[in-house]
Amino acid sequence: MTTTNASVARRLTQHLREGTTDMGEELRVPVSHFVSPQHAARERQVLMRKPLIIGRGSEIPKKGDFITREVLGIPLIVVRKADGGVASYVNICKHRGGRVENAESGTKRFFTCNYHGWSYACESGELRGVPYDEFYTQVNRETHGLNVVRTREWQGFLFANFAGDTEQPIDDWMGPDVTAQLEDLGVAESEIFLHKSFTLDINWKLVLDGAIDVLHPKFLHPDGVGKLIETNTSVWHDYGPHGQSFSPRTKLGDLARAGEEPEAAWKLIGSNLFLYPNASVIAAPDHVEFWTVWPDPVDPGRSTTEIRFLVRPEILDERMEARLNKSWQILEQAASEEDWPMEETIQKNSEAWPHGSYLYGRNEQSCQHLHRQLALDMAEVQN
Ligand code: FES
Ligand SMILES: [Fe+2]
Query: Ligand 1 test: best mutation among 93, 99, 135, 144, most atoms within 8 Å of CB?
Result: 93
343 CA to middle of ligand 2, Å?
10
Q: How confident is the model at residue 177 (pLDDT cuts 50, 70, 90)?
A: very high
Rounded CA Rg of the chain: 22
Contact 64, 83 (CB under 8 A): no
Query: pTM above the 0.85 mark?
Result: yes
Q: Centre a 10 Å sphere on the Cβ of residue 227 and count the other Cβ atoms it contains.
A: 12
CATH 3.90.380.10 fits 3-49+175-382, yes or no: yes
Taking Cα atoms as reference points, which of 178, 183, 273 lies closest to residue 1? 183
Alpha carbons 75 and 163: distance in angstroms, whole number: 16
The residues, any chain, with a CB within 8 Å of residue 178's CB and separated by 6 or more, are 239, 242, 244, 273, 275
| Contact between 111 and 93 (Cβ < 8 Å) | no
- Give the pairing of strands 65-71 and 127-129: unpaired
Q: What is the reported pLDDT for 382?
A: 65
3: number of Cβ within 10 Å: 9
Residues linked to residue 191 through DSSP beta bridges, in sequence order: 311
Q: Cα(218) to centroid of ligand 2, in Å?
A: 9
pLDDT at 180: 96
Band of residue 165 on the pLDDT scale cut at 50, 70, 90: low
In whole angstroms, how far apart are CA 129 and each of 107, 125, 145, 147, 268?
18, 12, 11, 16, 58
Mean pLDDT of the chain: 95
Q: How far apart are CA 208 and CA 340, in angstroms?
A: 11
- Between helix 340-352 and helix 204-212 the angle, nearest 10°, is 140
For residue 141, what pLDDT is reported? Answer: 85
**Contact status, residue 78 vs residue 54, Cβ threshold 8 Å:** yes
Residue 242 CA to residue 174 CA, distance in Å, equals 8
Number of residues in the chain: 383
| CA 163 / ligand 1 centre spacing (Å) | 27
Residue nearest to atom 4 of ligand 1 (CA): 116
Q: Is the pLDDT reported for residue 383 higher than 80?
A: no
Percent of the chain's residues with pLDDT above 90: 89
**Cα-to-centroid distance, 236 and ligand 2 (Å):** 18
- In terms of phi and psi (left: phi > 0; alpha: psi -120 to 50; beta: otherwise), the region of 193 is alpha
Q: What is the pLDDT of residues 196-238, one digit of tens each?
A: 999 999 999 999 999 999 999 999 999 999 999 999 999 999 9
> Could you report the per-residue pLDDT of 340-362, keeping only the tens digit for each?
999 999 999 999 999 999 999 99
Nearest ligand 1 atom to alpha carbon 96: 1
The Cβ of residue 96 has, within 10 Å, a number of other Cβ atoms equal to 10
Give the pLDDT band of residue 101 (cuts 50, 70, 90): very high
**Cα 342 to Cα 348: distance, rounded to the nearest angstrom:** 10
Sequence spans of domains, the chain: 3-49+175-382, 52-166
| pLDDT band at 285; cut points 50, 70, 90 | confident
Q: If you measure from the C-alpha of residue 132 to the centroid of ligand 1, how many angstroms do you get, rounded to a whole number?
A: 12
For residue 3, pLDDT over 80 is answered with no
| Residues in contact with 71: Cβ distance below 8 Å, sequence separation at least 6, in sequence order | 52, 54, 160, 294
pLDDT digits (tens, 9 = 90+) for 43-61: 999 999 999 999 999 999 9
Q: CATH says 52-166 is which class?
A: mainly beta
- pLDDT level of residue 262 (50, 70, 90 thresholds): confident
| Cβ-Cβ contacts under 8 Å for 201 (sequence gap 6 or more) | 301, 302, 344, 347, 348
pLDDT band of 138, cuts 50, 70, 90 = confident
Q: For the segment 62-99, what is each residue's pLDDT rounded down to a tens digit? A: 999 999 999 999 999 999 999 999 999 999 999 999 99
Q: Which ligand is nearest to the CA of 341?
A: 2
Q: For ligand 1, which residues put their CB under 6 angstroms from it?
A: 93, 95-98, 113, 115-118
